[in-house]
Chain A
């Protein structure tokens, strides 16, 4: 029951189209193209839009796309087979025209379509009616574990979670040999781990007695590992302490000499004596993980090189002469190398994997020219994908938007959010400097009411900036002003008052500095979502540091999700742009830029390259991609 089927060229020209219902599918197909294909997520083959599921297949030889659309509630099993069959038939029937790219011809394939659809539906019915075949031992989950890991010992929770997932494709051509080889490697690794653990346990008994004494108040058992409890860690019971909506009056802050911050009385006296070491157990755990990883990395390359040697001699000639169609197996070693290269450049491993899958989908079936080598084609395609990801999806021109708000006589509101210590306040000051250089007046709203010294930091920046651009140069108007209400107050309320103040005083830009927060701290994320919802800023900027690795994926996903979930409206205002900070500290490992733009799809608006006011730059897509691919 297909609602819609179409064959169109990658240039957008429709070759043939079938519409089962009167619903217009143009917007759905355009959304598919924009969201999946142009965002380099071609690894995922189905896409949901409204209540329609769209499945597609790329033909890279003739640059065509086959799209099928059906209702989301139906789960049709024969769609993939149908797409493959019609792809083959169409290709055979019109090979000549397609090769010459004559897309203007009338393609009459309604009979072909109905016959293939019928056979696919019958195949689907047969599959549903056939009895379910039991999995062979090789395919089951059990074969991937070792016996040792399945023995349950008390307090051994951590060990069980470390079972490796070995990727074994259902063998068509591959010999089942590799599976056995990897199992025995696993055994070896497990053995080594056990020996190492025994050694460390023996070493523990000789440790200093002082560490034992200091550890006793914690009463930590040696076998089981207690989860570390962070104070104010975001559990629901912390909601009261972290809730700033009711003003806990901690006194006025204007005079800097008075002590404003009341210390937590419970903390006094707990840090007497020497600063404690980290738990000794955690160190041994880390070393075990290192051994395991080293073991894994050593064994895999051998296997790959063995396979390569068998086909090495003739593949050399095959690559030089004549046209060769690219297949998945050919691309696999090159893509693995590319993926490792990307990971070495600090791209999150999940993102690197998805990118390589996307490149594989785009090149599968493509015909190579006579002197094109596979590695160069894959590299070129990957470079294209990276450029595409980093290019902004929308226009990025903040000065123009500020000018527009100025004309409409309302302030342009920018807010900065991110985890702790990424450089929000520093980069806020730099952006403020850029704006006042362009003759816009700025109001900084100090909505970080938690961190000690946050308000004073912003006040210092304000004084510096005002001395660089004194009011005399700008017609008697103070360029930078600070709106603060001290510590312990509700951030959303301060922001609202700041915006109203800016509206009355005719100030052009309001910059809201928020407190840093961990992405899984629920009360704080709720507070941030409330701030965004209540104040409706024009630009919500996520500040992330370039040093972050796989953590970037988690941070951005959770921040976006929190903003969407806790906003209680139809169109939640999620992250609009990314500020990438500490760019001068990474040498050429610029992968964090890719991870962040891939996850959110939003552009990188600013790049922070240092700690002075002038260290603010924008993204140069080609340069960053060339550094990444070097």
Chain B
């Protein structure tokens, strides 16, 4: 009897061991599968950012640039109420999704928030001629975009497009760069000293750009690469923009 018990127990133990190894194996396989799925989704998230956002103030020429790139012709346009989305094919590098975000102050934040996650690059269009009048509005919008937490973490490439160069009194990109840097220098002090907002958790939404103690320069922003280029949508001179799109894609 005892011998039978022993063998019986031995068989049971052996079976248990098999079962043990079986469950461990299954658990390992399930774990590996979830890991692969996770990696795949994460990688897809990184790679699938193929969006280029066209942002800027009202009347800076975004919709015109959009139509010239997508429809290959110039159209008349009114103030945009909604975003325009189109697909741009870049030679040898696939397709980019071009998104024209309305410039009107009330709606631009909402549309930008919905597309900033997919942004591989941001084109900030500004009117080179009327920059003197609008410098504070331009700088504030640019500051809001550059200091946005999602933008800082995704690190898209930024192009500041000085549009309307066909106008005789338009300023060149270097002049615009220096004027903007001076304005942003003042802005970063006032923006960080703004009052706290109602019902906020206590964390400020915008933070200090560039290096403290030194005057603001675009080259100082470590997380983003900011470039300047000139263009004129009216005369269809978008070469610099197209070159930049090639490099970003």
Q: Do A and B come from one complex?
A: yes
Number of A-B contacts (CB under 8 A): 129
A368 part of interface (Cβ distance < 8 Å): no
Residues of A within 8 A of B71 (CB): 103-104
Check if A393 sits within 8 Å of B78, measured CB to CB.
no
With both chains docked as a complex, state the minimum distance between the C-beta of A504 and any C-beta of chain B, in angstroms. Answer: 26
Q: Which of B132-160 contact A (CB under 8 A)?
A: 136-137, 140
Q: Which of A369-395 contact B (CB under 8 A)?
A: 384, 387-389, 391-395
Check if B78 sits within 8 Å of A395, measured CB to CB.
no
Please give the number of chain B residues whose Cβ is less than 8 angstroms from any Cβ of chain A in the complex. 40
Residues of B within 8 A of A13 (CB): 63, 67, 75, 77, 84
Check if B84 sits within 8 Å of A384, measured CB to CB.
no
Check if B106 sits within 8 Å of A11, measured CB to CB.
no
Q: Decide: A12 near B80, CB < 8 A? Known: A619-B197, A623-B197.
A: yes
Check if A623 sits within 8 Å of B77, measured CB to CB.
no
A39 to B104, alpha carbons, bound, how many Å? 11
CB closest chain-A residue, reference B196? A617
B79 part of interface (Cβ distance < 8 Å): yes
Q: Decide: A395 near B100, CB < 8 A? Known: A617-B195, A617-B197.
A: no
Of the candidates B70, B140, B199, which one forms a contact with A623 in the assembled complex, judged by CB atoms under 8 Å apart? B199
Q: Decide: A29 near B198, CB < 8 A? Known: A38-B107, A395-B140, A400-B186.
A: no
Check if A623 sits within 8 Å of B198, measured CB to CB.
yes
A400 to B139, alpha carbons, bound, how many Å? 11
Check if B82 sits within 8 Å of A10, measured CB to CB.
yes
CB closest chain-A residue, reference B195? A618
With both chains docked as a complex, state the minimum distance between the C-beta of A7 and any C-beta of chain B, in angstroms. Answer: 11
Residues of A within 8 A of B197 (CB): 617-620, 623
Check if A12 sits within 8 Å of B84, measured CB to CB.
yes
A90 part of interface (Cβ distance < 8 Å): no
Residues of A within 8 A of B81 (CB): 10-12, 33, 37-38, 65
Check if A34 sits within 8 Å of B195, measured CB to CB.
no
Q: Write the A399-411 contact mask toward B (1 if CB under 8 angstroms, else 0).
A: 1100110000000
A400 to B197, alpha carbons, bound, how many Å? 18
Q: Considering residues A65, A609, A618, which has the most beta carbons from chain B within 10 angstroms of its beta carbon?
A: A618
Residues of A within 8 A of B76 (CB): 14, 17, 26
A624 to B198, alpha carbons, bound, how many Å? 8
CB closest chain-B residue, reference A102? B71
With both chains docked as a complex, state the minimum distance between the C-beta of A15 and any C-beta of chain B, in angstroms. Answer: 9
CB closest chain-A residue, reference B77? A12
Q: Decide: A104 near B70, CB < 8 A? Known: A8-B78, A10-B82, A29-B78.
A: yes
A211 part of interface (Cβ distance < 8 Å): no
Check if B198 sits within 8 Å of A583, measured CB to CB.
yes
B194 part of interface (Cβ distance < 8 Å): yes
Please give the number of chain A residues whose Cβ is less than 8 angstroms from any Cβ of chain B in the complex. 48
Residues of A within 8 A of B106 (CB): 38-39, 388-389, 391-393
Residues of B within 8 A of A104 (CB): 67, 70-73, 75
Q: Which of B69-102 contact A (CB under 8 A)?
A: 70-73, 75-84, 100, 102
Q: Which of A580-630 contact B (CB under 8 A)?
A: 583, 606-607, 609, 616-620, 623-624, 627
Check if B100 sits within 8 Å of A11, measured CB to CB.
yes
Residues of B within 8 A of A460 (CB): none
CB closest chain-A residue, reference B67? A13
A63 to B82, alpha carbons, bound, how many Å? 9
With both chains docked as a complex, state the minimum distance between the C-beta of A580 and any C-beta of chain B, in angstroms. Answer: 9
A438 part of interface (Cβ distance < 8 Å): yes
Residues of B within 8 A of A14 (CB): 75-78
Q: Write the A29-43 contact mask toward B (1 if CB under 8 angstroms, else 0).
A: 110011001110000
CB closest chain-A residue, reference B63? A12
Nearest 7 pairs of A and B residues by beta carbon? A104-B71, A12-B80, A620-B197, A11-B84, A623-B199, A399-B190, A10-B82
In the assembled complex, 13 residue pairs joining A and B whose CB atoms fall closer than 8 Å, in A order, are A9-B82, A12-B81, A38-B104, A63-B82, A387-B110, A388-B107, A391-B105, A392-B105, A392-B106, A394-B105, A400-B186, A607-B198, A619-B198
Residue ranges of A at the interface with B (Cβ–Cβ < 8 Å)? 8-14, 17, 26, 29-30, 33-34, 37-39, 63, 65, 103-104, 384, 387-389, 391-395, 397, 399-400, 403-404, 434, 438, 583, 606-607, 609, 616-620, 623-624, 627
